[in-house]
Amino acid sequence: IPDFRTPGTGLYDNLQRYDLPHPSAVFELAFFRANPAPFYALAKELYPGRHPPTVTHHFIKLLHDKGLLQRCFTQNIDSLERATGLPAHKIVAAHGNFDTARCLLGHHACVLQVKSHVDRGEAMHCQECVSVGVHTLVKPDIVFFGENLPERFDDLAASDFPTCDLLIVAGTSLEVHPFAGLIHHAKSGVPRLLVNREVVGEMSPRARKMASLVGHGGFG
């Protein structure tokens, strides 16, 4: 499954034919309003069902089956954790997913209609808005830059991390906040296991000392 940032193969690189001002513009509301085509092309690549869950996704489900998983916090928007059979209450999709959709004014939209438009590469407009003369774009409930994360993210981060006894961090650049800051929510002394292509999340000695003063830790 292609990631976003790997040069040459990442999804951002493959969107350059749309002449993006910068790669992450595909997830910016102002750019989406002006040109929804790149996002709809990306959505087609990521839509649930295009790729099966990986061994890593099934490993997370195995942890649940053995009673070891407290929660899976994910930045992924492809719903592959759920596709393994992992219960929805065990997943925090911090950046949203394709399970629901709405227009930019907040009206709910039919996800089947959204998928049909994504498959055709045709931007969808909200019929409720059109009926009053307003042409408002529809998108899956994926969090764009500048939008708030779901309340569930903050609520469960606050309740889960104080009792965390092992934090597994896998497949992330740890560049997008506030999600990247979760690694510092586990208490000092809690083991953190990084499974990644490259080393990320290291703290300077000064930052590590400051984090320890407030009971937080990090890779180091």
All residues at 6 or more sequence positions from 128 whose CB lies less than 8 Å from its CB, including other chains: 103, 107
Rounded CA separation 94/164 (Å):
18
Cα–Cα distance for residue pair 12/197, rounded to 1 Å: 18
What gap in Å lies between CA 192 and CA 168, rounded to an integer? 6
d(CA 49, CA 7): 25
Catalytic: which of 57, 58, 64, 95? 95
Compute the C-alpha angle 93/97/103, nearest 5°: 125
- 213 vs 84: CA distance, rounded Å: 39
Residue 57 is a catalytic residue: no
Pairing of strands 167-170, 192-195: parallel
Rounded Cα gap, residues 132 and 130, in angstroms: 5
Kindly report the backbone phi and psi dihedral angles of residue 162, in degrees, each rounded to the nearest multiple of 5, phi listed first.
-60, -25
Which residues are tagged catalytic? Answer: 95
